[in-house]
Amino acid sequence: MKRIIIEGNRPLSGTIKIGGAKNSTVALIPAAILATGTLKIHNVPGITDKDALLEILKLLNIKVNEEDNTIILDARNIQNGVVTEELAQKLRASYYFMGALLGRFKKAEVYFPGGCKIGSRPIDIHLQGFEALGAKIKTENNKYIITADELKGTEINLRFASVGATVNIILAAVLAKGQTIINNAAKEVEIENLIEFLNNMGAKIKGAGTNTIIIDGVSALHDADITVIPDRIEAGTYIIMGSLLGDNLTIDGVNPKHLTSVLTKLKEMGIGINVKENKIIITKAQGIKATDVKTEVYPGFVTDLGQPMSVLLTQAEGISHFEETIFENRMGHIPNLQKMGAKIKFDNTHAVFYGPSKLKGAELTATDLRSGAALVTAGLIAEGTTIINDADYILRGYERIITKLSDVGAKIEITEI
């Protein structure tokens, strides 16, 4: 287990460079198996979720080379295989191999996915999409076996605009016969990035960034390059840290358009934010105004920033409300914040913050990736020492977080225990 130790209450100044988006990367890597040639993915973040996906590619006989932040994949000798329980359980996005292997080989054998425990997270919408395309699904000893004689394009209406289901159905449909229309598709920018990659490979997909995606099936895909977009969640996390401790803290390499809902909310709270092209400069606010935050699908306030945001709400003057509408339980960080002295009442999807509360260092436990990011944020503003157990979660989605924060003045270290 990894443990993060923070000595809190130090200003943050200097520049933090944002890496490529985790949620793009975890879709782009499985998508690579749809082509038979050489694929290059640039600006790949150094996160452990990426490492796990590359392990799966190796299992499928794909040659993987990493040069700095570029990965080069040679899929010429690709072979279908079972995505093992050990690898599938490492992350949620292992389930993108269901759509990709089905699309490529008309057969996918993938064990149940892992990922953060933030609700029951069913995948019925993914499976209904595969079935609509003509696939048959069996489950056997925690494994999905999905087969099709032929995949045929059709019109699919998603009952919820699920990111994962939209990605998986696109992956299964690009090589299907005829046209697939996905209605009520997710509009997240990471899906636009995926569609750009697939179109670079020769796919015919329209409607990226809208809720209707139209895929005209093609018979094969070829060599292609793609650059991963900046990680809006990583950027948002550091922007929130800057709102609490920034002294001209610069967050560099962002796409501010992807962060509109977050920046609007922070401005409403009185935080000084200066946007200059792909940089955001933040200085700690003197008095933070209480507010209400409700998570929504893109372009609404992103659920992944709800947990770091709640640390900011503990410092706002007055009563703030937080509502999580996407997942059933994303409140694992709250008991930890209470332990540090924050005054919060909560249930699975709502929290009320009575701020400002002075936070004191404590021994905490990360319960998932973004709760871990919230605890780091809390540790940075707390008086004294904060210890965060199960910090492995954090490294799944934040590249070089210790170095990035140390370089701007934080006193933070990570140890293996």
Q: Which residues bind ligand UD1 (CB under 6 A)?
A: 23, 26, 92-93, 119, 121-126, 160, 162-165, 186, 190, 303-304, 326-327
Nearest to 104 by CA among 132, 131, 80: 80
Nearest to 297 by CA among 333, 277, 327, 257: 327
Nearest to 327 by CA among 185, 201, 164, 205: 164
Angle at which helix 48-59 crosses helix 22-31, to 10 degrees, equals: 10
Q: Which is nearer to ligand UD1, 179 or 349 (CB)?
A: 349
At residue 42, what is the residue type? H
Contact 186, 166 (CB under 8 A): yes
Q: Which is nearer to ligand UD1, 65 or 139 (CB)?
A: 139
What letter does residue 230 receive in the DSSP assignment?
B
Rounded to a whole number of angstroms, the minimum distance from the CB of residue 128 to ligand UD1 is 8
Rounded to a whole number of angstroms, the minimum distance from the CB of residue 170 to ligand UD1 is 13
Q: Which is nearer to ligand UD1, 168 or 386 (CB)?
A: 168
Rounded to a whole number of angstroms, the minimum distance from the CB of residue 156 to ligand UD1 is 12
β-bridge mates for residue 136, sequence order: 147
| Mode of pairing for the β-strands spanning 136-140 and 143-147 | antiparallel
CA 275/CA 360 separation, integer angstroms: 32
Residue of this chain nearest to ligand UD1 (CB atom): 164
Rounded to a whole number of angstroms, the minimum distance from the CB of residue 229 to ligand UD1 is 12
Instruction: Give the C-alpha distances (Å, rounded to integers) separating 161 from 151, 182, 187, 322, 387.
Output: 22, 10, 8, 22, 37
At residue 317, what is the residue type? E
> CB neighbours (10 Å) of residue 358?
12
Task: Give 29's contacts (C-beta < 8 A, 6+ positions apart).
Answer: 41, 50, 53, 54, 57, 71, 73
Rounded to a whole number of angstroms, the minimum distance from the CB of residue 309 to ligand UD1 is 13
Rg over CA atoms, the chain: 21
Among 116, 165, 171, 244, the one annotated catalytic: 116
CA atoms within 13 A on the CB side of 172: 38
Task: Give 184's contacts (C-beta < 8 A, 6+ positions apart).
Answer: 157, 158, 159, 160, 161, 211
Active site residue 361: no
Rounded to a whole number of angstroms, the minimum distance from the CB of residue 185 to ligand UD1 is 11
The catalytic residues are 116
